[in-house]
Amino acid sequence: MGLFDDEFYSTRISRRTNKIGRKQMPGFPLRSRKDWGIGRLAALSAASGAAIVLVLTLALGGGDGKATVSEASALAASGLVAPGDAIQQTVTASAKVRPAVVSIVNEQATMLPQVEGEEGLPLPEGGVEGELQPASVGSGVIFAKKDGKAYIITNNHVIEGAAGLKAVMINGESRPAKLIGGDYITDLAVLEIDGKGIDVVAEMGDSSKLQSGEMVMAIGNPLGLGDSLSMGIISKTKQVIPVSLSQDGNYDWEQEVIQTDASINQGNSGGPLIDMKGKVIGINSMKISDVGVEGVGFAIPVNNVMPIVDQLMKQGKVPRPYLGVYTLDLESYFAQQGFGGGVEGGIEEGTENGEEAEEPGSGGPEIPAEVTEGVIVLESVGPALDAGLQFNDVITKLDDQPIRSTMELRKYLYGKKQIGDKIEVTFYRGGKQDSVTFKLLDKSEEEEE
């Protein structure tokens, strides 16, 4: 799955222990505790108590960042605030959300061995589908309840390929889940379950107000352990990482995420990342899983999540304009031909596998020597086919926007254009530049034709 996924590589824990012996420093003789006066002990206790209150208050968001040591000392002396109150905030925040967090079970059919039918005829090669069995687990969070139904946000990769879905509540109760819609581009999905007895719905926060260093918690079902919490900080409020939508190792999209060092492992995907007020500020999605890498996890910001969720609730999909080309990056083609370096290519609009570029001398794309960036058309369908785009055409611009890779093609298409818009495609064919203008369609409509 590449660097960016939610694979869990190792459970090894360092068992190294350090024992530090007491050493007398020159000029500083060790004192026994009985040598300390009552006044000194009281002063030390007051100072340390004030420091603890101040640190916990600032770290856990209990203050406005303007507290002073004197104010913390006054609170400690008054007995109105104790360190335990600040620590209790984590318990309160998690308790507010935990009943709304569920485990998602992806069920797939097992294959039974091939046997002869009742009339002595063999069944199709490979056997037949048997009972549904759990294939993978993830997490989700209940975000809405309406007309007796409860609705769950999770990751699209959690439910991908499922023949059946189940949601397991915090009390262990399992309920059948129905897929309302999923979107592989943003890796989000919405499920529906019976809402009977569900009283807690998670409250959404505001991810635009997050600050680096702010404490957060991840809740979910890591490694199938169920109802588990991990805690950390916001390492970076906005991180843009490359992803491979088709999981073929070619990075063909970019995802904006929150980076956190709260532990996110396989099974946490789809669960909530919450702040210390118990509000959901992200949906846990992936981590960097590589040898020597720790504490680098990612969550989709809730402000990016909810517009997608709204579209999935209304239409069961996220409508996007459809160009109708499967492509390979030109630089990747050059690299395959041995012309030096190049970047990894991709294929447009989420196809499963790209075709290999032509072998040297077998009629590859003809382009001027100065053209070194663009995308090669491997196949055109739908609107692109109707407009006359062909195999080996090299697209270099969409409208007036230079296109150097499949990622840039996608970003311009999905970010700047709408279904029904006209688009001008500039391309090279037979060494000559040409262009064509046509209307973008809805991909689902094209597939239904």
Which of 136, 157, 183, 207 does the annotation list as catalytic? 157
Provide the 10 A C-beta neighbour count for residue 89: 18
Residue 371's nearest CA partner among 326, 429, 324 is: 429
Which of 269, 285, 332, 405 does the annotation list as catalytic? 269
CA–CA–CA angle 445, 193, 173 (5° rounding): 145
Structure token pair of residue 230 = 């991990």
Task: Name every residue whose Cβ is closer than 8 Å to that of residue 79 and which is 6 or more positions away in sequence.
Answer: none
Catalytic annotation on 187? Answer: yes
- Phi and psi at 356, nearest 5°, equal -70, 145
Outline where DSSP puts E strands in 308-358: 321-322, 325-329
Structure token pair of residue 162 = 């499922």
User: Is-contact 5 286, C-beta < 8 A?
Assistant: yes
Sign for the pseudo-dihedral over CA of 176, 182, 186, 187: positive
Element (H, E) at 159: helix 156-159
Which of 187, 227, 252, 393 does the annotation list as catalytic? 187
SS3 323: coil
Q: State how far the Cα of 381 lies from the Cα of 333, in Å rounded to an integer.
A: 21
Element (H, E) at 308: helix 302-315
Q: In Å, how far are 62, 201, 360 from 89, measured between CA atoms?
A: 9, 19, 65
Enzyme catalytic residues = 157, 187, 269
